Structure 1
Amino acid sequence: MTETSPSATRGPRSRSRSRSRAAVLAAAATALALAAPVAVTAVPAQAAPADPVSVLKYTAGERKAALAHWTPARIKAVGKSVDLGPTGPKSKPWRGTALKTVGRLFFVNANGSDTWCTATAVKSANKSTVMTAAHCVRRGSSPYNTHTDMVFVPGYHKGQQPHGAFAVRAAATPRSWQNDSVNDLAALAVDADKRGRMLTDVAGGQAIAFHRAVGGTVSAFGYPATRPQLGEELLRCTGTAKKEQGAQFIPCDMTGGASGGPWFADFNTTTGQGTLVSVNSTMDSFTPTKMYGEVLRATAQKVYDRAQRA
C-alpha cells in the first residue's frame, strides 16, 4: 500500500534484501574485529554501542492536539477515504466476546495524511503499554520520517469508543527498523484517559511472550480497509504459524489498516484472552494469502521494556 492508505508494508523480497544487508554488515564487523592487532600496549577508547531502541516522545501539547484532531467526524472520514477492495475469504468479522484490548491506532503519517493501524494493550509495569508494528510509528530506513497525532482507541467498533481514547506519549521501535527496515514492531506508552485512569485498568491487557517457538494455532486480528467494513469492524484470521525468511506467517488476507494487529496464541474465544506472539507486518505481494509477523526475540523484548518504563 501507499503511505496515504492505512498502513501496510514491504513484501518478502524487500524483507529479504533488508535482512541480507544486515547480514553483510554483521559479517563485515566480524572481519574487522578479527583483523585487530593481537598485541598492543594501549587500546583506543571504543565508542559506546548504539542503543538498540529508538524512542519518539510527544509533548503534552502535541498529545492534547492529537486528541483534538481525532474527532468522531474525522475518524468516520478516514475510514471512507480508502477502499482496498472486498474483504478476503480468510478474514472473518469477530463476533465473539468484545476484545477491549484491541483497537484502532489513529495517526497522521509522514506525508501529512490521516490514517490508521491496529494495536493491542498488553500487561506492563506502567499499565499503559500498547504493541503494534514499527511502520505504524515511522517509515523504515528513514530516521526523520515519523508519524504524529497518535491516538489509541481500544475496543473500537463502528464509531463507538467504549473505553475512551488514549494519546501516545512515547513510541519505541528497534533502531534496526529506523536504519534498515528490520524488525517491524513497536511498543507505545499512552497517557491516562480524561478521567485519569490507566489503560489496562480500563481495557485490560493481554499477556505477551518472547522467545516462543514458532508454531501452533494463531488468531490474528485487525481493522483492514476492505469493504464492507472499511476499518469499522474487527476482523480475524486463524491458522498455523510457520517459519519463513527469518519471520513467521499464517494464512490470512487482511490488508492495510490491519497492520500492527495482534497474533494471539492459546486464544480463548470465551474470555477473549491469549498470548501475544507477534503483530501483523506485511502481506505476501505475490500470493496475497499470507500474513507475516516478526518472531519476538531479544530486540522485541528491549522495545517492550523501554515502553513499559516510559
Structure 2
Amino acid sequence: MRGSILLRRLSAVALASLAAVGAAPSLATAAAPASPAPEVAEVTYTAKERKDALAYWTAARMRKVSESVDLGPTGPLTKEWRGAPVKTVGRLFFVNADGADTWCTATAVKSGNRSVVMAAGHCVRRGASPFNTYMDLVFVPGYAKGSRPYGAFPVRATVTPKSWAEESRTDIAALTVDPVGGRRLTDVVGGQPVGFDRAPAGAVTSFGYPATHPQRGEELLHCSGPAEAAPDDEWRMPCDMSGGASGGPWLADFDARSGLGTLVSVNSHGDALDGSTTMSGPALGAAARQVYERAQRV
C-alpha cells in the first residue's frame, strides 16, 4: 500500500530466542564451537541494481509519489519541525512488493562503516513473507520540499530480524548505503547514537514524513511526549503521525539546537487507545542489536 500505512497491530509473541549451542565434544578432540547462525534476514543489491535505483528516483518521481497519496489532515499532536536541520533524518524511497512507488522515514546512525541507516522492518520487506522484499531503495537525508541537500544514497543491503521476515515480529531494520561522491553517509550528515536495552522513561521526540495534508510527505514533522512500555516488547508514545512516517526515529535526550539525541525506537504502527492516539515502536533489544551489528559488516 502506498505511503507505508502504519495502522496495523503486530502479533503478540515474544522475541525469538537465539539458537542454543549443543554439548561440547571431549577435550581430546574438541575444536572451537561454532558460533550460532545469525538470526537475521539479509537482502543485498548488485551494483547495477543500485545504479538503476538512483536513476529511477529522480526528483520529479519523488515529488510525484508525494502527490499521489493523501491520508487526510495532519493531526493535532503532529507539528512541523521548525528547529535546526535534523540532517540525519530523511525519506527512504522504494518500490514495494506490489510494484508501487512509496516511501518511509529513516535515520543515519553511528556505525563502524559510517554507512548504516535504521528504519522499520516493514519499510524494506513484507512481514511474514520471506520472499516479498522491496527494490530500488534510496535514502535521502534532510529531504525538504523536493530538496536533496546531501544527495541520495543507494541501499546496498537490508537486514531485519528473521522474526520479522517469517512471523511479523520485531519491526526493525538496518540498511547499509553506498558512499556518494566518495563520502560515506555519516561523514556527510553525522549519525545518531543507538541506545539498546533502555527502559522507556522520559520524553522522546519522534520524526517522520507522513502522507497527511498539507505537507504530503514533503516536510519533516514531529511529535514529542513521554514513552512507556507496551505489550509485545514495544514502547508507545502520544503521536498521530500516519503512513510515510514509518521507520522514523524516536530520539531520547533530543537537543533541538544540534538535531542530535539517542535513537531508542522507530515508528512502527499507530493505535487509538482509550480515546487518545498513540504511536508504537519496537524495544531495541538483542534482535535489534544483531541487525545493527550485521549491517556494519555488509
Global fold match (TM > 0.5): yes
Q: TM-score, normalised by structure 2?
A: 0.91
Are 1:249 and 2:236 an aligned pair?
yes
The aligned counterpart of 1:93 is: 80
Aligned partner of 2:103: which letter?
W
The aligned counterpart of 1:181 is: 168
- Conservation of the 8 A alpha-carbon contact between 1:9 and 1:135: no
Distance 2:290 2:5 in 1: 24
The aligned counterpart of 1:307 is: 295
SS of residue matched to 1:78: helix
Aligned partner of 2:212: which letter?
T
* Structure 1 residue 8: Cα displacement: 2.8
The aligned counterpart of 1:276 is: 263
| Candidates 205, 214, 218, aligned match of 1:232 | 218
* Identity score, percent: 59
Distance 1:300 1:263 in 2: 14
Task: Show the 5 A alignment for 1:35-184.
Answer: 51-184=38-171
Give the number of aligned pairs: 283
Aligned partner of 2:229: which letter?
K
1:265-295 CA-to-partner distances (Å, cap 9, x unmatched) read: 0000111110000000000156571000001
1:136-157 CA-to-partner distances (Å, cap 9, x unmatched) read: 0000000011110000000000
1:226-258 CA-to-partner distances (Å, cap 9, x unmatched) read: 000000000010010011113110000000000
Shift in CA distance, 285/217, structure 1 to aligned 2, threshold 3 Å: closer
Q: Which runs of 5+ in 1 are unaligned?
A: 34-46
| Candidates 248, 267, 278, aligned match of 1:290 | 278
Distance 1:135 1:296 in 2: 16
- Conservation of the 8 A alpha-carbon contact between 1:11 and 1:285: no
Aligned partner of 1:291: which letter?
M
Richer in helix (by share): 1
TM superposition outliers: structure 1 runs of 4+ over 4 Å: 47-50, 285-288
Aligned partner of 1:199: which letter?
L
- Conservation of the 8 A alpha-carbon contact between 1:218 and 1:263: yes
Aligned partner of 1:222: which letter?
G
Aligned partner of 2:163: which letter?
S
Distance 1:136 1:130 in 2: 12
- Conservation of the 8 A alpha-carbon contact between 2:6 and 2:242: no
Question: Alignment RMSD, CA only?
Answer: 2.0
Q: Which runs of 5+ in 2 are unaligned?
A: 23-33
Shift in CA distance, 264/140, structure 1 to aligned 2, threshold 3 Å: same
1:84-119 CA-to-partner distances (Å, cap 9, x unmatched) read: 000000000000000110000000000000000000
Aligned partner of 1:101: which letter?
T
Distance 1:74 1:238 in 2: 31
- Conservation of the 8 A alpha-carbon contact between 2:127 and 2:166: yes
1:48-87 CA-to-partner distances (Å, cap 9, x unmatched) read: 9653111100000000000000001101100000000000
Aligned partner of 2:234: which letter?
A
Aligned partner of 1:277: which letter?
V
Distance 2:197 2:35 in 1: 27
- Conservation of the 8 A alpha-carbon contact between 1:253 and 1:288: no
The aligned counterpart of 2:193 is: 207
Aligned partner of 1:6: which letter?
G
Distance 1:171 1:104 in 2: 16
Aligned partner of 1:229: which letter?
Q
Distance 2:35 2:107 in 1: 34
- Conservation of the 8 A alpha-carbon contact between 1:101 and 1:120: yes
Task: Show the 5 A alignment for 1:21-32.
Answer: none
